[in-house]
Chain A
Amino acid sequence: MLKNDPLENILYIDLTRRTFRIEKRPELFEKYLGGTGAAVQLLHEECPEGCDPLGPESPIIFAVGALTALFPLASKTVALFKSPLTGNLGESHCGGRSAVSIRMAGYGAIVIKGASSMPVYLSIENGRVRFRDASTLWGMGNFSSGRIIRENETGAGLRTIMRIGKGGEKLIAYSCVTTETFRHFGRLGLGAVFGSKKLKAVVVSGKSSLPVSDKKEYRRLYDEVYKAAVESPVMKKYHDLGTAENIVPLNNFGGLPTRNLTAARFEGASRMSGETFAEKYLGRRLACSHCPVGCIHIAALREPYEDISYFYKTSMISYDYEPIYALGTMLGISRPADFLRLMDRVEESWGMDAMSLGVILAWATEAFERGLITKKETMGVRLKWGHVKGYIRAGGYIIDQPNDFYRALARGVEYAASVYGGMEFALAFGGNEMPGYHTGPGAHLGYLIGARHSHLDNAGYSFDQKVLVKKRLKPEETIDALLAEERWRQILSSLVVCFFARGIYTPELVTRLLSIGGIDLSAGDLDRIGRKIHAEKYRFKMREGFALDTVRLPERIFETPSPVSGLDRAYLTKALSYAHKTIEKEFDAAP
């Protein structure tokens, strides 16, 4: 690492005492590159074993990486925390301006502990942290609180504003943290951890300079990466239609979860496709800082007010593949405007993980159909596939939590099913609600063994479509492939490179880029570091009670045919037992 690189600075904030300190920890970045690698070390240091995820001792850790603000696409911030949803590793990634702002403010990582007695927001600059009264903001949605903070703070264009909505304030186990209005630390409940600390928002801003080892070579390498980012065909799909492009091909393939995965094809897919959204609703394209791709697609929804003529409300609402799956196809919604109305509530007001909420509402709809719950539990709301009004009312009740049923829904699908039944169709893996791929054994094994039970951990859905569709592999071979991918992804998420750029950021390129920042590692070193980080995550998971050999397999995934064969209980059980042994070995081998 080069001298005077601010990356080595860790900012520790104590919300109870309202103090902060900065420590230099260059080894976290030299050994683990930053991001998830540095953050998991800090998590082991800062998170007491068995602590309440919503207690003051539970830490929030943000980390950026050695390539952030040096090269394009290294623009994610990794958040690590103890998840209130799963009770073990909470990990969520977010773009927007967050990563660049943290590094430009002069930090490689930020650790927030303690809890405030009243609502606060933090304003973080180079060498300074202000604790601001957020009493006025408490109860406000994402748009309003963002606007007020924007007007009260300096650093326009050079800052991130991370904030929670009502979901986080109400400690909903899958509430999210939103940055720059449209990007999210979506998964595993970081919003509730913020809420438990009475932390409404965190603003970080800065504009500093970073050292490079060789100015000429820096510019040359930069041009190489930039050119690949704007010209490479591997980035095209994110650029044009965005991730929503996946709706039609996944539906044709027969892997698009529909109506709580009672089907894997949706008759309304073409109406909910990326093509339809682009043609009829796309209102603006946005990018994260330092990413020329601009994958963020924002729909403009114009709606008349019902009570007064010639008055219209135009809402700007982000859409992506996963929300369209969770709040669209999973709920049988086939009208884009209905999806957007629901998404608007989720994003603007509630601040919840769209994926978890969609899966929970899908479970509730099926439970309602089967009579496991009635209008007594739902407080008069009729849950019916495709009927958005009922979903909007139910979502509002999850926020307000007026009865036991909605309090149960606020804790996740697995908890709700443990109370009301229907566990066989409660689609969660390791406690985290299912992502939008029912492609085959790769996808489901990927969710099960992934350190954060996300499709992005190891891209099993992609392995199904590229490999398993052509050739059946032994369970052990599938696990080996998924684990290899997950270990490599530890490197990408330690560098905080967006996974969309994984086709560009090869091990060979990564080693060359790192040397510009004064970190000299070989491809072999990267492999070793990836294994180590993965083992450290599993060490945390197991410490907090997670066990791969007892993880629940929802019956529903075996009932609805998937396009890639081999999705049966025997195959999965064998694979999981092998994964369990392999990870334990890795874990023992890690120094």
Chain B
Amino acid sequence: METEKCVGCQSCMFACSRRVGEAGLARSCIGVRSIGGMERGFSVVVCRACADPPCAKVCPTGALVPREGKGGVRVLPDRCIGCGHCREACIIGAVYWDDETDKPMICLHCGYCVDFCPYGVLGMQEREVENAEE
């Protein structure tokens, strides 16, 4: 990510909601906000696909499952009780919240937003990660 090139248009955020066919921002798992005023530029907050995801480690019901060899997690909504521990464990704030279902929303790394970044700030990268333990 080359965030210094981000102009803050938030096209990625709208793309993320559109991925599920929705308009608006309620379903976005990516966020763009200024670093204390627009004159200083922006930060893009999205799941970094940690090799050993803290969000999964604190989940009491096993609803967040580390993705095999890819980093990041899958959310299993049926197991989730909406406790919000995952949100607190993510120190970059990349666990978004679905207020309708009261459950977390976390980037699936599908890459849909990348196609709607006009300045090449976002990119997709394949990488092998070793999961801590299976």
B123 on interface, CB distance cutoff 8 Å: no
Q: Which residues of A contact B8 (CB under 8 A)?
A: 286-287, 289
A180 on interface, CB distance cutoff 8 Å: yes
CB closest residue in chain B, given A230? B118
- In the complex, per-residue mask of A91-111: 1 if CB is within 8 Å of any chain B CB, else 0: 000000000100110000000
- In the complex, per-residue mask of B1-30: 1 if CB is within 8 Å of any chain A CB, else 0: 000000111110010011001111111100
CB closest residue in chain B, given A516? B23
Q: Which residues of B contact A104 (CB under 8 A)?
A: 24-25
Partner of A212, one of B9, B23, B32, B119: B23
Min CB gap B102→A, angstroms: 15
How far apart sit A284 and B14, CA to CA, in the bound complex (Å)? Answer: 23
Partner of B37, one of A103, A143, A208, A285: A143
Q: Which residues of B contact A156 (CB under 8 A)?
A: 33-34
A83 on interface, CB distance cutoff 8 Å: no
CB closest residue in chain B, given A283? B39
A288-B9, A294-B9 as given contacts; A211 in contact with B118, CB under 8 Å: no
CB-contacts of A205-223 with B (<8 A)? 207-212, 215-216, 218-219, 222
Interchain CB contact under 8 A, B7 and A218: no
A-B CB pair tally, cutoff 8 Å: 99
Interchain CB contact under 8 A, B38 and A182: yes
Partner of A157, one of B26, B27, B32: B32
B54 on interface, CB distance cutoff 8 Å: no
CB-contacts of A224-245 with B (<8 A)? 226, 230
Interchain CB contact under 8 A, B25 and A158: yes
Interchain CB contact under 8 A, B34 and A157: yes
A143-B37, A181-B38, A294-B119 as given contacts; A69 in contact with B32, CB under 8 Å: no
Interchain CB contact under 8 A, A69 and B14: yes
A150 on interface, CB distance cutoff 8 Å: yes
Interchain CB contact under 8 A, B22 and A289: no
Min CB gap B53→A, angstroms: 23
CB closest residue in chain A, given B28? A207
Partner of B24, one of A146, A210, A219, A298: A210
CB closest residue in chain B, given A67? B23
Interchain CB contact under 8 A, A226 and B7: no
Partner of B9, one of A70, A182, A290: A290
Partner of A290, one of B10, B22, B39: B10
Interchain CB contact under 8 A, B23 and A218: yes
Q: Which residues of A contact B11 (CB under 8 A)?
A: 72, 226, 290, 292
B84 on interface, CB distance cutoff 8 Å: no
How far apart sit A294 and B36, CA to CA, in the bound complex (Å)? Answer: 19
How far apart sit A230 and B26, CA to CA, in the bound complex (Å)? Answer: 25
Q: Which residues of B contact A146 (CB under 8 A)?
A: 37
How far apart sit A387 and B88, CA to CA, in the bound complex (Å)? Answer: 56
CB closest residue in chain B, given A291? B9
Q: Which residues of B contact A212 (CB under 8 A)?
A: 21-23
Min CB gap B98→A, angstroms: 10
How far apart sit A210 and B25, CA to CA, in the bound complex (Å)? Answer: 8
B41 on interface, CB distance cutoff 8 Å: yes
B82 on interface, CB distance cutoff 8 Å: no
Interchain CB contact under 8 A, A289 and B10: yes
Min CB gap A8→B, angstroms: 15
CB-contacts of A156-171 with B (<8 A)? 156-158
Interchain CB contact under 8 A, B39 and A316: yes
Min CB gap A539→B, angstroms: 34
Interchain CB contact under 8 A, A292 and B38: no
Interchain CB contact under 8 A, A284 and B9: no
Interchain CB contact under 8 A, A207 and B26: yes
Interchain CB contact under 8 A, B22 and A210: yes
How far apart sit A209 and B101, CA to CA, in the bound complex (Å)? Answer: 13
A147 on interface, CB distance cutoff 8 Å: yes
Q: Which residues of B contact A289 (CB under 8 A)?
A: 8-10
How far apart sit A156 and B40, CA to CA, in the bound complex (Å)? Answer: 14
A143-B37, A181-B38, A294-B119 as given contacts; A287 in contact with B21, CB under 8 Å: no
Which of B24, B31, B36 has the most A CB atoms < 10 Å from its CB? B24
How far apart sit A215 and B36, CA to CA, in the bound complex (Å)? Answer: 36
Interchain CB contact under 8 A, A292 and B118: yes
Interchain CB contact under 8 A, B26 and A290: no
How far apart sit A285 and B23, CA to CA, in the bound complex (Å)? Answer: 26
Given A230-B118, A288-B9, A298-B39, 13 more A-B residue pairs with CB atoms under 8 Å apart are A156-B33, A157-B32, A182-B39, A208-B26, A209-B22, A210-B22, A216-B21, A218-B23, A219-B21, A284-B39, A285-B7, A286-B38, A287-B8
Pairs A–B under 8 Å by Cβ, sample size 18: A69-B14, A104-B24, A158-B31, A181-B38, A181-B39, A182-B39, A208-B26, A209-B23, A209-B25, A210-B24, A215-B22, A226-B11, A230-B118, A286-B7, A287-B10, A290-B10, A291-B9, A296-B7
- Residues on B facing A (Cβ under 8 Å): 7-11, 14, 17-18, 21-28, 31-34, 36-39, 41, 45, 116, 118-119
- Residues on A facing B (Cβ under 8 Å): 69-70, 72, 100, 103-104, 143, 146-147, 150, 156-158, 180-182, 207-212, 215-216, 218-219, 222, 226, 230, 284-294, 296, 298, 316
